[in-house]
């Protein structure tokens, strides 16, 4: 059993929270090997060494970005057939912890959500993004929960940079830091022209936001009104070039688990392609990349996740 603890999760409060939950974790999973690591390169190296030792059970202790980093590192170092013998659990020490939602009472230790039932894993889809980076080189990355373009991606980028007031809030009130980053982005972000291929449909749109999701919950308290996308499928939710007032109304409805009204469109598909004349950000499970063109697809039943 390999546990990777990200000390930067949850406004750098993850080690403190880990100490409070560690006895319960040990009771649930037994002996384990712990490594403390932050940053994709270091996490990738830790996971690679664990795989070389023959580890098959992994626990990501951190936020959604930590889960993403651990799973992405596993995917990078193993061929697809070998992925199915890997089991991944998680301990929610981050600011949002969308990976754990909805959490049942037995999936919480104190106030910390956990997914550590290695005897009850479920086969889960894995989503892949193929994209062109800033040097026009092809890259790819994986995600499990949700991805986005536009306002949500820009807000995540602002939140991750943690400058000024956001940095101060993250260490004390992570939810307030997320709200502040979102408000600043809503005020400053301008819609971008995107070429979309959504299944068989081709569109040119001016978009405020495009959400691509396996789970309808995102950014902590926001929730699309749809059920989780089924096997091999993902939800695509578009907010057109609406004004600030309309956008705020849409966000207010998302807080109540509704995505509807003028300026909103939704699809359930297995593939999506996005391109633009100027670079845009893609956020996936809290981590951000910059590109001009990207394609999204679902790899059905690619990995085992703890319940």
Give the start-to-end residue ranges of the domains of the chain.
2-120, 127-300
Predicted pLDDT of residue 185 = 78
Mean pLDDT within 268-279:
95
pLDDT at 62 over 70: yes
Predicted pLDDT of residue 180 = 67
Q: Which residue has the tokens 């664990």?
A: 50
CATH value of 127-300 in 2.60.200.40, 3.40.50.1220, 3.20.20.70, 1.10.287.610: 2.60.200.40
Kindly report the number of other CB atoms within 10 A of residue 71's CB atom: 27
2-120, CATH topology level: Rossmann fold (3.40.50)
pLDDT at 109 over 90: no
pLDDT band at 110 (very low <50, low <70, confident <90, very high): confident
When the pLDDT of each residue in the chain is averaged and rounded to a whole number, the result is 89
Q: Which residues of 39-48 are buried (b: 16+ CB within 10 A; e: fewer)?
A: eeeebbebbe
Q: What is the rounded CA–CA span in Å between residue 48 and residue 75?
A: 10
Predicted pLDDT of residue 215 = 86
Among 91-105, 146-160, 166-180, 271-285, the least confident range: 166-180
pLDDT at 129 over 90: yes
Question: Helix (H, G, I), strand (E, B), or coil: what is residue 198?
Answer: strand
Element (H, E) at 204: strand 201-213
Question: Helix (H, G, I), strand (E, B), or coil: what is residue 216?
Answer: coil
pLDDT band at 290 (very low <50, low <70, confident <90, very high): very high
Q: Which residue has the tokens 């609406």?
A: 242
Structure tokens belonging to residue 145: 């929960």
Mean pLDDT within 271-296:
94
Sequential DSSP letters for 125-166: EEEEEEEE-TTS-EEEEEESSEEEEEHHHHHHHHHHH--THH
pLDDT at 178 over 70: no
Work out the percent of the chain whose per-residue pLDDT is above 70. 92
pLDDT at 306 over 70: yes
Mean pLDDT within 23-50:
94
pLDDT at 255 over 90: no
Predicted pLDDT of residue 200 = 86
User: Could you tell me whether strands 33-36 and 2-5 are parallel, antiparallel, or unpaired per DSSP bridges?
Assistant: parallel
Q: What is the rounded CA–CA span in Å between residue 230 and residue 269?
A: 10
The residues facing 59 across adjacent strands are 3, 89
Q: Is 33 left (phi over 0), alpha (psi -120 to 50) or beta?
A: beta
Residue with the larger pLDDT of the pair 102 and 284: 284
Predicted pLDDT of residue 236 = 96
Element (H, E) at 53: none
Structure tokens belonging to residue 41: 């390169």
Q: What is the rounded CA–CA span in Å between residue 125 and residue 36?
A: 27
Specify the pTM. Answer: 0.88
Mean pLDDT within 146-154:
92
């Amino acid at each position: 059993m390999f546990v990777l603890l990200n000390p930067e999760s949850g406004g750098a409060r993850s080690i403190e929270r880990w100490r409070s939950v560690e006895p319960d974790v040990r009771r649930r999973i037994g002996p384990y090997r712990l490594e403390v690591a932050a940053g994709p390169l270091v996490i990738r190296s830790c996971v690679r060494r664990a795989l070389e030792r023959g580890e098959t059970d992994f626990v990501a202790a951190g936020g959604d970005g930590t889960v993403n980093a651990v799973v992405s590192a596993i995917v990078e170092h193993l061929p697809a057939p070998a992925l199915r013998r890997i089991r991944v659990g998680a301990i929610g020490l981050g600011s949002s912890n969308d990976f754990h939602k909805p959490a049942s009472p037995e999936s919480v230790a104190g106030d910390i959500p956990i997914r550590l039932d290695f005897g009850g894993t479920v086969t889960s889809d894995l989503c892949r993004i193929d994209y062109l980076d800033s040097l026009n080189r092809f890259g790819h990355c994986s995600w499990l929960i949700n991805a986005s373009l536009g306002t949500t991606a820009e807000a995540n980028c602002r939140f991750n940079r943690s400058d000024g007031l956001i940095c101060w809030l993250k260490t004390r009130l992570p939810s307030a830091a997320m709200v502040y980053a979102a408000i600043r982005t809503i005020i400053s972000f301008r819609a971008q022209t995107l070429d979309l291929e959504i299944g068989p449909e081709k569109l040119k749109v001016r978009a405020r936001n495009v959400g691509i999701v396996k789970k309808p919950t995102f950014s902590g308290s926001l929730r699309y009104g749809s059920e989780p996308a089924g096997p091999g499928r993902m939800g695509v939710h578009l907010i057109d070039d609406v004004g600030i007032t309309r956008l705020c109304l849409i966000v207010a409805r998302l807080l109540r688990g509704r995505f509807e009204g003028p300026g909103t469109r939704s699809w359930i598909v297995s593939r999506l392609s996005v391109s633009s004349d100027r670079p845009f950000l893609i956020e996936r499970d809290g981590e951000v990349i910059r590109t001009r063109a990207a394609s999204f697809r679902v790899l059905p039943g690619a990995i085992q996740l703890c319940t």
